[in-house]
Structure 1
Amino acid sequence: MDRTESAASSPMTALGLIGRLLMARGRNRADLCYEFMGTRNCPTTDSTYLNLGYWRDTNDYRQAAEAMVDLLGHAAAIGEGDTVVDAGCGFGDQDVRLAQTRNAVRIHGVNITESQIAHARLHNAHPRVTYHVASATALPFEDGSIDKVVSLEAAFHFDTRETFLREAFRVLRPGGRLAVIDLVPLERNGRPQTGGLRGALERWASQTPGANVYGITRYGEILRATGYVDGQLRSIAPDVLPPYVAFMHKLLADPDQASRFHPMIRKAMQHPNNPFASSDYILVTAAKPASA
């Protein structure tokens, strides 16, 4: 069985997804979006990474995806003996990578999508990784019990991101560190570029709460108001968004590769207008005060 052929690839039709999202009106159901995607829509068939990749030194998707995880681990300063929470862990590839490269004593992968956790437990088991079906906005850990909290390309889904940042602050020990890689709207003259009607439809399709539609300036304000110190926010978009779009266009130009992607995803990625034209891609780090 191909690595990307698993129980997590059980089909949900586009109409079925839309119907369930409409029935779930008023609640964030990003899990339905990822159940719909399954594993067949991952960019490669030799892993189940979904992140957009950090392409500074490579043209290979898996290498770019791993470079993104490495960037996150370095930003969080994960080290030997750390207990880490990964909020929105996907299919678990990134947690195994962190366990192997950063030597944390325990990594807790948290995800609300049950099919992704089932896949992670089956295909990405590791003695120092534990997977949890749980919400990033209600982390199942005691106050001050975690050394590092990370999130890779998931916090824009959380209902809300601000609630997650408060939860991360709660579970971090004094002096603990937060590192988040996130998609936010671009800012122009301090105002987020929301992308008009198309942007609104894309946010609904990806179940991105309206409360999360703000740019890097407001993000920093929320960090400070929550109590974090030493906050740093920087765009890494040039090394992520254009090369990822170019990679996907090339991939989908191959009929054999394109055939495994759902038509909705193919259409979105092959659209002549850049799907990330109004987006920024940022690396966020901050710490809980040592005296907290």
Structure 2
Amino acid sequence: MTENSTPANSPREAVIAHYTARHTARGDLYGEQPFANYGYWVEPDQSIEGAAEALTRLVATTAKMGPASRVLDVGCGYGAGPVVFARSHKPRTVVGIDVTDVRITSGQDYVAQCGFGDTITLQLGDATAMDFPDASFDTVVSVECAFHFDTRATFLAEAFRVMTPGGRLALTDLIPKRGVDPKRYMQGNRAFLSGQCLDMPVNAYDADEYSRILREIGFEDVQVESILEQTRIPFIAALRQYAQRSEGERRAAFERMCDRLQSYVDAGEDYVLVSARKPEAA
């Protein structure tokens, strides 16, 4: 697919088409680990791969993941996140779901190569219609995916359903800052590499509305914290450096991507760390 491809008919189809198209274009951006996130940039001289791992560990720590945890990773991609969880927090089990077949297939190979086939299971699954019984997981996490879900609120309700009482939710997400009209950056742009429009106006609300939705579903201890300065902004700078080390059309493509990401930041798009807990009595 190219930048001029015909957009898919539904948000779910657009996401599948986009990430399928991106599959062969990632190159060595994330080094040896198949990540796809903006990273958490809090240490000097971090690589893109190191920052991506740091963001994954931040989500696990925020969720209070531990040896007894039964974890669900929604939008697990190629399995890099589940492998980091298994290495750093050693949960009892991790189940990862994603709507993109090529990511699950490649991720299963990656998990096996890393030696976590007995702990980690990756499978196709829809965040808004999960095929799991009630109270199946102690921990639900999602890294940079919920803005794609149709809708985010439906996903959050499903997360609540499949969590045990006392279970914890942690995710990172993209939302508009308070007082920002999302139309400033949701202008129907087609994503580079896939030609898909990934705008989801139904999910474009600020931290106050995000918190209200979580509480309305039944979550408590809700927090929605901006970490934009430690994520997207330094990622753009690192990606520009990566682009300068590339050549030809690849360099031009990454430079265009940087310009667009910066335009979204300038227009008021935020990056947040979200956490919440299901009550013990739920």
Kindly state the Cα deviation for residue 259 of structure 1 after the two structures are TM-superposed.
5.2
Quick one: which amino acid aligns to residue 252 of structure 1?
Answer: A
Contact kept? 1:269, 1:275, Cα under 8 Å? no
Equivalent residue in structure 1 for 2:82, among 76, 87, 95: 95
Per-residue deviation, 1:82:
1.1
Q: In the alignment, is the contact (CA less than 8 A) between 2:186 and 2:201 conserved in 1?
A: no
Which residue of 1 is the match for residue 237 of structure 2? 246
The equivalent of 2:36 in structure 1 is 50
Structure-1 residue corresponding to 2:25: 40
Hey, what does 1:141 align to over in structure 2? 132
The residue aligned with 1:3 is none
25 and 151 in structure 1: CA distance in 2 versus 1, 3 angstrom threshold: closer
Q: Which residue identity does 2:33 align to in structure 1?
A: S
Compute the displacement of 1:271 (Å): 5.2
Contact 1:95–1:109, Cα closer than 8 Å, also in 2: yes
Taking the aligned partners of 1:80 and 1:184, their CA distance within structure 2 comes to 32
Normalising by structure 2, report the TM-score: 0.89
Conservation of the 8 A alpha-carbon contact between 1:39 and 1:48: no
Which residue of 1 is the match for residue 274 of structure 2?
284
CA offsets per residue over residues 197-226 of structure 1, 9 Å max, x none? x52224884524221011111100100110
Q: Partners in 2 of 1:153 and 1:53 — Cα distance?
A: 10
Q: Which residue of 2 aligns with 1:109?
A: 96
Backbone CA RMSD of aligned residues: 2.1
Aligned pair partner of 1:176 in 167, 170, 174: 167
Quick one: distance in 1 between partners of 2:145 and 2:228? 16
The alpha-carbon distance between structure 1 residues 275 and 210, as it changes in their structure 2 partners (threshold 3 A), is closer
Q: Secondary structure at the match of 1:276?
A: helix
Structure number with the bigger relative contact order (C-alpha 8 A, sep ≥ 6) is: 2
Q: Given the superposition, is the C-alpha separation of residues 50 and 291 from structure 1 closer, same or farther in structure 2, using an over 3 Å criterion?
A: same
Shift of 1:253: 1.3
Deviations 1:14-33 (A, max 9, x none): 34xx32x24x1576531111
Q: Judge conservation of contact 1:144–1:171 (CA < 8 Å) in 2.
A: yes
**What amino acid is aligned across from residue 14 of structure 1 in structure 2?**
E
Report the identity percentage.
32
* Among 189, 205, 230, the residue aligned to 2:221: 230
Change (3 A) 1:41 1:107: same
Q: How many residues align?
A: 271
Partner of 1:215: 206
